[in-house]
Amino acid sequence: MKLMLHVAPGIVRYPVVASVILETGALVNIERASIDAVSGEIVLEVPAEKCQEVIEAFQKRGVKVMLLEIPVVRDENECVHCGACVSICPTGTFRFEDWRVVADSGKCIQCGACVVGCPQRALKLVLK
């Protein structure tokens, strides 16, 4: 399962990911991270059986956690299946199948490249 973490000022300098891994024993994969001196945003892949435990451990440390169930949404009325998203996506979320673009949202890391690259503006990121 994918989680998006929002690390607030004041805790960004602490090793929150490492401490959660040690506490929970969960093997997590950092798929995307954008961290500076005052805040950060991290997308993690977490084993489903450890997901709730990991969420609670991050929340206990003051990290805002969002479950990314459907990270990117396509407006079927706007999409013309041009393939711009296929060519720009760094994770292979989009592919052609029978001349139509299909998505495997489990691969999405919410980088936003597809949203910016879509000439029809048919894609948007889901932020809860």
CATH superfamily, with its number, for domain 2-67: ACT domain (3.30.70.260)
Mean pLDDT of 23-33: 93
Residue 106 has a pLDDT of 82
pLDDT digits (tens, 9 = 90+) for 17-26: 999 999 999 9
What is the rounded radius of gyration, in angstroms, for the C-alpha atoms of the chain?
Answer: 16
Asked whether the domain spanning 72-125 has the same topology as the one spanning 2-67, the reply is: yes
Tally of CA atoms within 13 A in the half-sphere of 68 that contains its CB: 27
Task: Tell me which fold the domain 72-125 belongs to.
Answer: Alpha-Beta Plaits (3.30.70)
Q: Is the pTM of this model over 0.75?
A: no
pLDDT digits (tens, 9 = 90+) for 81-100: 999 999 999 999 999 999 99
Residue 52 has a pLDDT of 95
Residue ranges covered by each domain of the chain? 2-67, 72-125
| Structure tokens given for 93 | 């979320």
Mean pLDDT of the residues in the chain: 90
